[in-house]
Amino acid sequence: MVARTGHFRRRIVLFLVLLAPLTALESPVHAQGVGFQGGFTIDPEQAYFGTHLETPELGYNFHFRPGIEGGFGNDLILGAINVDFVFKYQVGAVWRIYQGGGPAIYFYRFGNPSFTEVTGGLGAVFGFAHDNGFFTEFRVGNNGPNLKLGVGWTIKSF
């Protein structure tokens, strides 16, 4: 995996360049938000903390939600960059369920002396969100933690 990092990095740069036009989309400021989350992972067993940006609705219930997270524990440090696209569905007056996913980049640091590995993968996210910003979610994926369980808060701009 490590020997092919140059090829992998070129693909990631190309992917990010292709996503860059999404940041230029004009939309109401009140629909944007930044959030913070934390929880624990299974395989590897860790605690994690992170932040994300949530764009306004890009289409019918469709949002772009990139994020960055760091996990600690089990003699391992794990960083993750998630590039998620999510669909939100209204459930009742103030609750929404959401699902989505996308590519992710994982940075592993472990061992003594320390060794770093960079790899990519795909992930899926499922959750419940309240209109006040509170949410709970779980993530599944490959090449990263098999399962993440977390809670968080999204602060919406007005």
**Would you identify the CATH topology of the domain 2-156?**
Porin (2.40.160)
In this predicted model, what pLDDT tens digit does every residue of 107-129 receive, in sequence order? 999 988 889 999 999 999 999 99
Q: Could you state, in order of their start, the residue ranges of all structural domains in the chain? A: 2-156
Rounded CA gap, 119 and 8, in Å? 8
In this predicted model, what pLDDT tens digit does every residue of 28-87 receive, in sequence order? 444 689 999 999 999 989 999 999 999 999 999 999 999 999 999 999 999 999 999 999
Whole-prediction pTM: 0.77
Mapping DSSP to helix (H, G, I), strand (E, B) and coil, where does residue 145 land? Answer: coil
Share of the chain residues as helix, strand and coil, in percent rounded to the nearest 5:
15, 60, 20
